[in-house]
Homo-oligomer: A and B are copies of this chain.
Amino acid sequence: MVKVTVWNENRHEKKNPVVAGIYPNGIHGAISAFLEKGGFDVKTATLDEPEHGLTDEVLANTDVLVWWGHIAHDEVSDETVNKVVSRVLDGMGLIVLHSGHFSKVFKKLMGTSCDLKWREADDRERLWVVDPSHPIVAGLNQYIELEKEEMYGEHFDVPAPDELIFLSWFEGGEVFRSGCTYRRGNGKVFYFRPGHETYPTYHNEEIQKVITNAVKWAAPVDHARPVYGNAKPLEEISKK
């Protein structure tokens, strides 16, 4: 059974009654609830727990980490960031949601600014499937429509994704690469755009399907890890 840890900043939920109303158990609570139904072994972790809830033991027992953060990216300690990045390179899957584009973890794995355009104006969003062969789109129709969402617009300053799965259309005139996969070391990373805290996006069944599919896709592969450093020759080297 795939072991998932859902990490959430969990700050908006405490400060903003609108957010608390939509997510009474926190964004992490909503996400872990549907992932449990999806057949995963799910735990949660939040910013204000000791070590942000991401101790060595928790990370060692996490196959796939889901990440939601927004207003407190800077409060995540560099030590934790380095541990998470190491675990990804070692094989742990990582699902970065929405404003997590600006998390230290994602920026470190991308090597770019991860900047973008944004607007909170109740734009309608339509996420079009552009890779119908990908397991992350299992069970979906041609597009997912969200009546209201925050807009994220191009240019999205990330490396060209290894696989581009969703493209978003926004009512106000912008587009966005909303579903992007990246391989980093032994690990797989999926960035998925939707999920502003003031909208009930994670209650949407199609959004839940995507995240559930992504967890399956990102689960680690069991194989021998590469060996690095000084290496003896496997064949005889000629005298020259």
Interface SS, A side: loop
- Interface residue total, chain A, C-beta cutoff 8 A: 81
Q: Does A124 belong to the interface (CB within 8 Å)?
A: yes
CB-nearest residue of chain B to A123:
B237
Which residues of the partner chain B approach A129 to less than 8 Å between Cβ atoms? 154-155, 223, 226
Which residues of the partner chain B approach A224 to less than 8 Å between Cβ atoms? 140-142
Say how far A233's CB is from chain B's closest CB, in angstroms. 3
Which residues of the partner chain B approach A119 to less than 8 Å between Cβ atoms? 230-233
Say how far A123's CB is from chain B's closest CB, in angstroms. 6
The 8 A CB mask of A205-240 against B (1 = contact, 0 = none) is 000000000000000011111111111111101101
Partner of A171, one of B115, B117, B238: B238
Q: Does A147 belong to the interface (CB within 8 Å)?
A: yes
Q: Does A50 belong to the interface (CB within 8 Å)?
A: no
